Amino acid sequence: MAFAELPPAVRDAADEIRITDSCRGFTSRFIVGFHHQGGPICVREGCVTRAVIWHEPAHSHFQALHHEAQEQWEGFVGARLFHGEGISITVPGAYPTHGMITSYGGTNADENYAEWVAWLTCYLHGHGSGYGGAVIASVDRSDPVYLRILQFFREHGVLTEEEFNRLKPLFAE
C-alpha cells in the first residue's frame, strides 16, 4: 500500500525492493533501509514502514535526475549545511531550516531529497505533517526556498499541478 502512494515518477525509478536482514548496506543496527546505487533497495525485516518505503525509492529518483537537476537541488540548501556548518542531526530538537524538511535532511542532498519525498507523500495522503519529526509550524514559511522546492518537484514529476496548489499555501505566506 505505501509503495502505491508514492508519485509514479518515484515508483518507476525504483527497480526492486528486497526485504532482508542481510544487506551490505546495513553497517549499523540503526540502518533500516539502504539504496544501492543502480541496484536494489533493501529494507530490514521487521522494519518495513511507510516512512522507509517512501524514503528509499526517492534515492533512486534523485539519482535518475539529470546532473543539472541534481545541482539545482543541491543549490537550494547550500553545501555549507551538508558539511557540518549547519544543522547537526545529533542535536535533539534541531528544526529544519534553509530548504530542509527534517533535520536528517541535513546529512546530504540525497537524504534531503528522500526526506522531502517521504514528507510530501505522508502529507498528501492524509497522514499528517509530522513525518520524521518535521512539523510544518517549525519551518520558516516565509523562506522562499521552500516554494522553489515545491516548484522543482512539480517540474520533475513528483507533484502534480493539483498537489502543488494544495501544498503551496503551506509555504507561501
Where do the structural domains in the chain lie, given as residue ranges?
Answer: 2-171
Q: Model pTM? A: 0.85
Is 163 strand, coil or helix?
helix
Q: What is the pLDDT of residue 87?
A: 46
Question: Phi-psi category of 85—alpha, beta or left, where left has phi over 0 and alpha has psi -120 to 50?
Answer: alpha
Predicted confidence at residue 90, as pLDDT, reads: 42
Mean pLDDT by 10 residues, the chain (173 residues): 89 87 85 82 87 91 94 81 50 61 81 92 81 65 88 96 93 72
